Structures are given as C-alpha cells and as structure tokens.
Structure 1
Amino acid sequence: MYLICLWCDDLPLGKSKSELYTNIIELLLSRTVRKLHLGLEITSESSQSDIPQFWSKHVHCKKYYALLKALGQLAFETLFSKQRESTLVFSQSVTERFLNKDDLKLDLCLLSGILTKSKEVKLTSESYKVSFSHKTVQEYFCALYICCQSEIDVEKFVLHRFKSVQNILDMSTVFIFISGMNAEIMSSISRELMSVISEDQITRTYRSMTYYDSRYVNPLKDIQNMYISCLKENTDNTSLCFQDFIIDKECQQENHFLNLKQLVIHNKSNIMSLSIKIEGIRCLRELIDQCELDDLHSVKKIYYRGECTKEAEIIRLLTNKSLECVTVVSSTWQGKYFIVKRSSCSSELSKTFQNISQLRAIYINSFKMEHDVLKEFVNYIINRKSMAEIRLYRLHCVTHDISCGEMNLDFSQHSDLRTLGLSDIPVSQLKVNVSSLEECAVGYLSKLGLFTLLLRELPAASKLHTFRCNALKSSGDIETLLQTLPLLVPVKEVWLVDINVGERSLSLSPEMVNLQLVFLSKVTMSGSSLRNLVKVVEKLLHSVTVEMLACNITPETEFADVKKYIKTSENFVVTFDGITQYGMYKYVFLFQTTEAGSRVH
C-alpha cells in the first residue's frame, strides 16, 4: 500500500530498503500534517548536526527528528525485550514511557499510521495495546536508534544483546537497515559479532566437522547472506567482517557472486572456514583466482566438492599450514545433484594431504591411486594418532584392483577418534578404538568378516549418537546389522541407505531413550518388517521421526495398510507423503510419533 502511495504522489522509492522506508515515513508525516492542518511543533533536543545524513533531503523527518528518535528507542526496547510476548505488541503504558501523551507525540504517531492501537476488553477491565504498523517499520526505527548511539554504546549493545548465531539472525533485518543508514556503524558491529559467531556451538561444531550437514551449514550461510544483503543495501559498506564462507549454486547469480567475492577478499586474513561446492558455477581455478583464495593463513577448515581432474587446483587450495579439517569429494554436477566420479590422486596430491601438519579431521571420497601411493596415504592416517574424524570412501587401488589386500587399518591407538566413516575401500585388517566414538558410518568392506568385526565393537561405544550404514550386499553383513541395531542403545540417529532387508525384522530397542531419527533411503523391505519398526517406535515414550526416501516396500497393499494405520492413529503425525521435486528421490514418506503424554492408549 505504501509503495502505491509513493507511486501515486510521484515520489521516489529509493535505491535501498532504508531509503524506501525513509521515503514512506516522510510521506506519512507530510500527509498527516497537511491533512489535519497541524501546526504541531515538537521540541527537538538535537542540533542540526545530530540529524542523520540520510535524512538530509527529508523535510518532515528532520523537523520531527526528536519524535522519530523516541520512536526508535521504543522500537529498540520492545524488539529486545526479555518478555518475548511483548516484542511486537505492547501496552500503552510502555509506549508512553517514550512518547509522552501530553505533548502529542503519541497522537501524531497514531494519526500518521506509524503506530496502531487496539482495545483489549476483558471481563472486568479494558486496556489498549500498541504496535508498529508492520514489523519491518519497527526494525527500521530500531536501526535508527542504534545509529544514533556512540561507538562505545554500540559496542556495549552488541556484547550485551547478542549471545548466539540465532540471536543475530533474529535481528538480520535490523542489521540490513543499519547498513543502509550508516556503513561505518555496521562495519563496527560486524567486527564485534565475529567473536559471538565464533563462540557459538553451531560454528564450533561446523568448523571441526568434515561432513556437509545442513543443520550447521544453513545458519552460517544465512549470516553470510545477511552480510551480502548489507552490501546490496549500501555499496559503500566494504568493511564487513566474516569468517565462514560458503560458495555454492547461489553464485550462479552474478550479483550474488560479485558481492560474495568482495566479502571474501576483504576478509582474506579472517577466514576460518571455506566451503566450495561446484554446483553449475565457475571452476575451482577461477574461484581461487577471482576470490584470492591462495595462502589463507588463518583458515582451519576447507570443504570442496566438485571436479578433481585438475590436481594443481586442489593442491593450490590445500596449501595452507593452518588447516585442521579437510574434505575433498570428487563429483560432477548433474544440474540438480552431484554424482560421485573417481579421479586420479597422484603422489603429489597425496603428499599435499600429508603435509597438513595440524590435520585433525579428513574426508576423502572417490579417488583412484597407485598401490604405493594409497598405502603411503593410509599409513599417514594410521600414524596420526590425534585424528578426531576419519572418513575414507570409494578409494580404489589402480595396481591391484579388487585383489588389493595389504591395507591394515589400525586405529586402536586413536583414543580421540569421534567419527569414523569407511566404505568401498581395500582393507585386509581393521582395529578401532571406540572409547570416544560418537558417529560411525560404514558400508561395503572388501574383506569378508571385517564389517561384522567392526559392528561387534560398537555396543561398547558409550558415546555413539549417530550410526550410518549403506550399500550392504552380503546377506551375512545385513544379518549382523539387524542383530546389532537394538544393541546401540545410546544412539540418537540411525541412517540406512541402499540395503535389502527383505522379510527380516528391522527392530530397535525400547531402551533407546535418546533416539530421535530413523532415516531410510532406497531400503527394500517387506510390509511386515516396516510394521514391526512402526510398532517399536510407537512404544518409545518420546517423539521419533521416521524418514523414508525412495524405499521399496512389498507388497504394496501391505505398505498401504501400514500407512493407513499411521495416518489414522493419533500416536503419529504424517509430515509428508508424496513425490519430491529434487530428482534424487522419488516417493517420500515422513512421519513422527507424538509425545507419550498426548497419545491414545
């Protein structure tokens, strides 16, 4: 509506969000004063020099600056109120603390439409509630108030009000407005926020993990996008500080890439983590050249997924002595998703990995090597007793092919090993210290019996919270898996991918009081086996989510009966049932159990 009003009055919209809202406020004030013939003069306690520069051409904003600043304080105090129910709608008494009813400030705000008032009638009393006309209007005025503070006060405000990544994201619109109003203040705020972001558990976990987990990636990506919006809001804002960069398919948009590039280059000495997924975007060499990604002296983590045919580019990326966490997954982008594609790993690339002196976590996927190169690389991992995370997937011996049998994986001395992932690699012996193990991901192992050997150790892993298993072909391995699952009592998540359970029972234990997720992808099983699983999770007293993606349940009639039971029972909630649009999966069925207290018995 405001946009239409500006357009009808032939007034500019502005080049940024903050300019747009300033023009809207100017319009509302001018129309109210003109329409009501107000000769209202609200005393300003500020000199002309106190008035923000971005209001220099707005007559009514300058005239009523003291009023608008008071509105800003109201917006600030309510948005950051500890009483969450009073952040958007608040009592008139709260409003009058900042807008004195006697000097008509509140009346002007209500008449102009900046604020709205509603009556709340109760049985024996009535009261008035006040709110801004829209949350973004409140966020605009909050930003205005912050911009009116001294640098020391702004620093105190950031340290006092922001304790987590989520706190920051909750106020992202405020920061974008601040950027449009005063680039220097937003740059100062971003410097203070770096420590808040670094100390958040989300960031600390993300920087130490090799796996691409959206639960940790997305919040940091949202912070990155917030700063990109700040750059778009004010092109003079070239000094924003950030440390965790994610380069992915969003860079297909040229403007997004150019802003991200600017952010990366400015923060070259600050970068702590760098994630690159070549999803239909520039090749790695172009990214390294254009974003100046050589010699990142402070970087602790690098995640790379994409083409690995040109080793020199990978070596350039990984030549950083500060690295502790490294992921390289050889893949090709197919328009909607990645397909793993084995690339050659020369002695030079292998030695690049081995030269990372501070390495604590490594994830290598889909490489082929000469026998001596592979053996040297594996021995390097074995000899690094301080490793906290090891993921080795789809490593192929070019010299001996599937007959390669000299790889003895001895992790018995790795007392701090928290994550272990092994699948489709040549290995003849396997020893694992499970005392610190928190996550285990296991798939096909070339020598018969090794899978069983590993799973027999897992019930002793008292800290295990995530178990993943994929691509089992041996009937004996599948039987071992099904026997072991109920024994993994501490786990929170169970992931099974590309496994044929058949008529066998996929059972869990009622003692799994921590279980939160059962994820099944491309699992083949009978309807009776699924029914048994449903009965088990239904008996657990807490809520458990079950996700089924592209599973084959036979016969279809029994699958339909199980789904009907889930949908009609008040003990379950179905969150999705249908075809996805992503291409990797076809049919998806997602449901979760309700809390025990709300169940029907």
Structure 2
Amino acid sequence: MVDKRRKEDLTEDLRQRLAKYYHKRLNHAPISPLMPDMDEKLDKFYVPPKIFEKNHRKIGAAEKEKGTPVTSYRHLICKTSKFGDHVFIVGEAGMGKSSCATMCALKWANQFSPTNTINEQDENYSNLRSFESAKLERIIQSNSVFKQNFRPKTELDDQFQDDTFFQKVEFLFHLTLRDCCHLCDLTDIIQDQLINTIYQDDEKSAALCTLRSVLYNKKCVIIVDGLDEWTHPNETNYRCSEKDKVIPHLAPNIDATVLITSRPWRMSQQRVKDTSIDTYMEIEGTTDMLFLLHKTINSLNETVTENKTLPDFLRFIRNMKIEHLLSVPIISMLLVCLWFDGEHESSSLCGIYAYTIEMFVRKPLPMPTVSLKTISFPQCFKDKEHAHTYYSVIMELAQLAFTTLFSNDQTSSLVFKKVDVMAHDHLVFVLKSGILQETKAASLIKKSSSYSFIHKTVQEFLAALYMSHRTEEFYRVFKPYYENNTDSADVSQVFIFLCGLNIELANEMSVMISDRPSHSKEQIPPEVRTIFSGYVEAQDNCIKVSDIKLLLYRFDYLMFGNSELLNDLLLINKSKVRFIHACSETNETTLREVFICSTDTLTNVWMCEQTGKYDLSACNCLQDLCIVGSEVTDIVVNTKCLVSLDLTNVSERVQYSMLQSLQRESVNFKEFRIEIITNMNLFYQTLPRLKHLEKLNIIIADLSDKAFPLLPASLTDVYLYQVKMTAPSLINLIERLEKKQS
C-alpha cells in the first residue's frame, strides 16, 4: 500500500515538475526574427495555426490536395480517440510549427498551474476588430489582398478552443531534436532533455523508473519538434533498422502518441514509410494574420512611450506593395520589427528582401564550404553580416533563381526539379535555412523531388541579384527570353529590384518594357506602373539621379498621385514622350521643353487646368489634343496629323486659335468635341471646311439665332447636350443625317 502511494506520489511529482518546467522554459519566443535575445511571452502574441489534414500518399501529386481543416487540439493530437499514433505536422520555415508544438505543451501544463497564464492573455475572437475598427476596416476594404487574407472574425470563433482536451492527456513530453543528434531512442531523449534537467543527480534513478512506468501505463503524448534538424547518430553501437534511422523511435510496446514536426524537404530526402504515418498534416501559417500583427504590435508598444497602431502598419505594407509577404508569419513579424524600428522610413524593397535573406541565413545551421573571395554586395546588403559570410551560397542560390525563373519551359519556372547549379552542401544549407523548399514527388518507380522558393518575389529578388552581378546573362538569357515570351513574361518585379541593384541594367531593361505593345484596358498601363515603381526603388536605394535613365513614353498626372516624381521622370524623358496628360501640378517649364524636344514622338496631349502659353507647332505627329479649362491662355498647334480635338470650356483666345488652325489644315481630322462656344461665327465658318469630320459633339451652346450650319459630307454622328436651337433647325439636321445613312 505504501509502495503504491509512493509510486503515485512520484508520478504526480513528475507531472508537476514537467508542467513547471514548461511554464518557465517554453513560454517565450523571439519577437524579432533578427534578434533572438529580444523575446516575449509566447502566449502574448500566439495565434492558432492554419492546419490541414491530408492524405500523405497523395503528397507530390500533380493536383494539390486541399485537405480537411484542423480546428481543434483533439483533431491535432488524437483524432481517433486512441493513443499510440504517429502524427506528422509538416510546414515550411517560419509557418509556426514550433510555436504550435510549444503551445500544446503549455496548454497541457496550464491545467496544473494555480494561475492560468495563457487564458489571461487570450483575446476573444469576437472582439477581433474592435480596436480602431473604423480605420482598420477602411484600409482592409481598400486593398484586395487584405480583403482576401484577413478573414471575418465569425470564421475564427471556434478555432482551437478545446483546452479541456488536454485533461485526457496524462503526460506530455516536449522535445526538441536540434541538440540531440547523438540519440535516436525517444526514451533516451526524454531522459537527456527533461529528466536530467528537472531532477537532481540523486533523484534521477527513481525518476527514470517513474518515467518508464508512465510511458508504459499512462496516456502519453510525445511532441518531437524539428525532425529536419536531426540526423541519426553514426556510432556503430546503434543497431537500428533502416526504418528507425529515419525518425527517432519508441519501444513498440509503448502506446504513446508521437507528434513530429518537420520541414517538407526532410520528409522528401529521408522518407518515412507510409505505414509509419497515421496522420499527416500541413501547416500553412496562422488562422488570422491580422490578429497576430495586432498582438505583436501591442507587445512591442510596451517598450516605447508613443504607441504605434495596426492601421499605420498596414498603410506601410500597402505603400510598399508587399502585402503578399504577410502570408508567412515569420516574415510578417520581421516586417513589423523593421517598421517599428523606423527602418521603413529609409527602407527600399531591396532592403526589405535583403533583411529577409539575412533572417533565414542567420539561423544556427551547419557551416557549408564558402568562398573567401571578396565581392561588392549592393548597398541594400550593407551591415548584413551573415549574408556576407555566406555570399557564395547566396550567389549560387541566386543563379538557381535566375535559371529557373527565365527558363524556356515556363511550367517549371516556379516549381522545378533541377538544382544542379548548387553544390550539395550549399543545397542542404539553403533547404535548412528555409529559403528553398523541397517536396517529394509522387512516383512509384523512382525517388524524386520538386523544389521552390519560399515566395515567388524572393525568387525574383535573387534572380535580379544574380543579373546585377552577371550582366552578360542579361543579354545571353534574359533578353531572348523576354522577346520570345511576349504574352506571358511578367518581369515587372525583377525590373523593380534591378533598379535598386544595378541601375545601368535597369535603364536598358526599361527600353524593352516600354517598347512592348500594351494590350491592357487599364487606365494606367502596367508598363507605366512598372517604370514608375522602378524609379521610386532607385531613389529609395540612393541611386544618383544623373544615373537614372529609365525610359517612359506615357505620362498621366491625373492618375498618378506623386507629381513630383512624375516631373522628374518627365525631365529624364523630355525628348521621347508620346502621351502626356498634364494638369495644374505638371511643371510648366518641363512641359514646354517636352513640346520642343518630343516633336517627332508626341501623339497625344491632354491639358487639364494647365496654366500658361504653349507652342505645339513643331509637333508634327500630334493626333489627339484635349484642352480642359480656361487656364491655357494661348496655344499654337500643328493640325496636319490631328485626328481628334476636345475643347472643354477653354478661353476665347484658345478656341479662336484652334478653329483658325483647323480651317488651314485638317486633312486627317475626324472627331470634334466642343463645350461652350465663344465665337459662333468662326465656328459656323469652320465646320463646313472639315471635309473628313465623322463625329461632332456640341455641349452647352445657343444656336437659336441661326440656322444650323452646313455639315461636311463625311459627318455620320452628331451629339448635342444642353444645346438651344429652333425646331426647324433640329428637324433639318435630323433629315440630313438620315439622308446620309440611307
């Protein structure tokens, strides 16, 4: 009886020691991916993961399986309601595997704590967007990526709310495999990592007996975090089967649930037998990124006197056009830290991606063989010491990014099989870092894998980095690729990165982009947005203005908000402009220079409330002219090639000048729109002389004093709005038009 009570006491003592140890040692995580010493209580910024259960036999199939959402701890750990299964949670770097594993241990330990350390910090999902809700909702609704990624709170209310499940788990052992490559038996690893830590030397013998009893007789869960960081020991005294060399093993007569986290590349390179996987799950980030951002910012606000807000952070993300990076939790937290630290005030896209590369290669990883030759890294890599250390690895990875992205076979540009440009130890290094991902391919006859980068934009940044150093590859590979893929090649992001990495090459690339015919129906063609964004990136990377010679033919001041930057680009391209939509914010001096220098290229001119006098007499290719407002006081135009003209509420002098010019020459003139006629006699004289006019729009005019003028024989369409005229004149006009159409 005494022995039984003693055994029960020792068992309960082990449970209490484990719970206390988890609360003290596990409830923290780095809040800054670049500064591990800057940590925070995990429960203060933890958000449940987005997990899907999938059929592991179909992993790598051509059609990606969607899977079944996992929304409870019971489903995660013990779906079948019995203990003894092998559960695998697989996910890429920074998706939250370790945080999820740690939180399971804390949830279990929490039931034995006198104070509920986790639930005190939890926020109710029903209040998810109560903080600064009006500002926040406006920003989310203004951005399609935000609307898609930030899910409504009603979808999240029941995510992982079943903490009571852990009452069924009598013991939970949380293990990390990073530091135990000298062991392969899970019982030994528990002894090494837990028993040897929570017991004194004179207590360990009894504790081991208790451990064995617990493992054989209690409902146990063993969480094994980081299979990708473990390799089987090489010592000859380990007589393990090939199966047991792939994953740490447990004695077959121990019925404990073993939950293992891993990266996909590890599951591909050292494959676990299908029969050893009872449940296979993939983690794809967090259930609610908005909530994670909110918690992270709140936690960081505790370190400053002036609080920062989530809406301001989302504006930064939107302005930098990096919304897509918020899909990866660890990159999201990096972006919050960069923004919070003020780095965003001087940050460029290249700088953000350089920080991202630095974050992945700074992890404790096995040192690959690296080249010692010195190299000139771009400005954005300044002070990135780990990137400099692993320069040769990063450049091999950049070469891989370049060769795959601009492959003639576009089906394998993002997901590919060939990685032979990388040395084997370098390949292992980047796989372990998380920048490159490996997934096993479904095949019954051979072992093969497919690879991809953590995000397409990371691949594009590295491809641009490679091109910036190996400029000959621009001509050998990129230029033919771009010319041969006229419809499908979207190189805008690579170009933007190149503007910050190698402006000379970007200048050449801008010619190719601007010369390609655009079939877009957008108000601002994509190539215009691309060149504009590239100019901004060049400025953000402190490129000298005199070195920026980006080619742009089209300038629309009404569509772009930043007229100062547009004026800069206009000055650079003043002799090459084809289309300009000027307004009051257009630099008047530069605009005059454009009319002098772009005489052989300018075809479209719109001037909206633009002040000043202008001479377009040398613009011998001008086809479309629109003048809105009376601010233009005088104008001279070459109407030889003019096809359409719009005069909206212009000054009397401008209207007179244009009508006179049309009388002299209008051989190609087909469309005329005029609003508020100030010189009726001259208008009546001019109209019959427009021998090729097809469409006429008259807005706001009094034609009641005179009969409607003679119309050119070519005229087919007349549009009148707020025009006063006599009934006979209107009837006569209709009859003449009907006669033309019959």
Same fold by TM-score greater than 0.5: yes
In structure 2, the CA distance between the partners of 1:451 and 1:76, relative to structure 1 (3 Å rule), is farther
How many angstroms does 1:56 deviate by? Answer: 5.5
Q: CA distance change for structure 1 residues 359 and 221 in 2, over 3 Å: closer, same or farther?
A: same
Alpha carbon RMSD of aligned pairs, Å? 4.2
Structure 1 residues 458, 78: CA separation in 2 closer, same or farther (over 3 Å shift)? farther
Match of 1:83 in 2: 409
Q: Work out whether residues 243 and 273 of structure 1, in 8 Å CA contact, stay in contact via their aligned partners in 2.
A: no
SS at match of 1:269: coil
Q: Deviations over 1:103-151 (max 9, x none)?
A: 222211111000112234367777432110011111111111111123x
Corresponding residue number in structure 1 for 2:491: 171
Deviates more, 1:138-147 or 1:224-233: 224-233
One-letter identity of the residue aligned with 1:117: E
Which residue identity lines up with residue 367 of structure 2 in the other structure? G
Partner of 1:327: 625
Q: Deviations over 1:3-40 (max 9, x none)?
A: 5358779997772221222222122112142xxxx232
Between the aligned partners of 1:323 and 1:157, the Cα distance in structure 2 is 36
Whether 1:306 aligns to 2:608 is: yes
2:459 to 130, 135, 138: 138
Pair 1:365-2:647 in alignment: yes
Q: State the Cα distance separating 1:183 from its structure 2 match.
A: 2.7
Is it true that 1:2 corresponds to 2:328 in the alignment?
no
Residues 403-461 of structure 1: CA distance to partner in whole angstroms, max 9, x if unpaired? x855543554x4xx7x7443347652223448xx9xx67446864343554466569xx
What SS does the corresponding residue of 2:450 show, helix, strand or coil? Answer: strand
SS at match of 1:429: coil
Distance 1:6 1:395, change over 3 A: closer
Tell me what 1:507 maps to: none
Q: Say which of 666, 674, 678 aligns to 1:393.
A: 674
Gaps of at least 5 residues in structure 2 are 1-329
Does structure 2 retain, via aligned residues, the 8 Å contact 1:202–1:216? no
Deviates more, 1:56-65 or 1:128-137: 56-65
**Residue 267 of structure 1 is aligned with which of 544, 548, 573?**
573
Q: Which residue of 2 aligns with 1:549?
A: none
Structure 1 counterpart of 2:553: 244
SS at match of 1:81: coil
Q: Please say if 1:97 is aligned against 2:420.
A: yes
Do residues 41 (structure 1) and 396 (structure 2) align? no
Question: What residue number does 2:145 align with?
Answer: none
Aligned partner of 2:514 among 187, 197, 201 = 197
In structure 2, the residue corresponding to 1:61 is in which secondary structure?
helix
Q: Structure 1 residues 376 and 272 mapped into 2: Cα distance closer, same or farther (>3 Å)?
A: closer
Q: How does 1:380-529 map to 2 (within 5 A)?
A: 380-381=661-662, 384-387=665-668, 389-398=670-679, 406=685, 408-412=687-691, 414=692, 420-424=695-699, 428-433=709-714, 442-443=719-720, 447-448=729-730, 449-451=732-734, 453-454=736-737, 457=740
Q: Does 1:25 align with 2:357?
A: yes
Distance 1:344 1:56 in 2: 50
Q: How many residues align?
A: 394
1:147 and 2:463 correspond:
no
Which residue matches 1:230?
537
What do residues 492-525 of structure 1 show as CA deviations (whole Å, max 9, x unaligned)? xxxxxxxxxxxxxxxxxxxxxxxxxxxxxxxxxx
Q: 1:384 to 1:120 in 2, by over 3 A?
A: same
State how far apart, in whole Å, the 2-side matches of 1:345 and 1:236 are. 36
1:398 positional shift: 4.3
Match of 2:502 among 175, 178, 182: 182
- Residues 144-180 of structure 1, C-alpha deviation per residue, up to 9 Å, x if partnerless? 1111123x54345554233499879822221221122
Do structure 1's residue 218 and structure 2's residue 525 form an aligned pair? yes
1:304–1:63 distance in 2 versus 1, CA, 3 Å: same
Gap change, CA 1:359 and 1:405, over 3 Å in 2: closer
Separation in structure 2 between the aligned mates of residue 164 and residue 452 of structure 1, nearest angstrom:
55
- Partners of 1:410 and 1:429 within 8 A in 2: no
The answer (yes or no) to whether the contact 1:274–1:302 under 8 Å persists in 2 is yes
Query: Which amino acid in structure 1 is aligned with residue 712 of structure 2?
Result: K
In structure 1, the residue matched to 2:108 is none
Q: Which residue of 1 aligns with 2:480?
A: 160
Higher strand share: 1
Query: Structure 1: which 5+ residue stretches go unaligned?
Result: 204-213, 332-342, 460-601
Letter of the 1:85 partner, please give it: T
Q: Residues 117, 49 of structure 1: CA spacing in aligned structure 2 closer, same or farther, 3 A cutoff?
A: closer
Distance in structure 2 (CA, Å) of the matches to 1:82 and 1:380: 53
- From 389, 393, 418, the counterpart of 1:67: 393
SS in 2 for 1:121: coil
Q: Which has the higher contact order (CA 8 A, sep 6+)?
A: 2
Superposed CA deviations along residues 312-353 of structure 1, whole A, max 9, x for unmatched, are x1x32646544513423325xxxxxxxxxxx4998x54xx13
Percent identical among aligned pairs is 19
SS of structure 1 residue aligned to 2:575 = coil
Q: Partners of 1:389 and 1:237 in 2: how far apart?
A: 46
> Aligned partners of 2:518 and 2:427: how far apart in 1?
43
d(CA) in 2 for partners of 1:187, 1:168: 22
TM-score by length of 1: 0.55
| Contact 2:609-2:631 within 8 A present in 1 as well | no
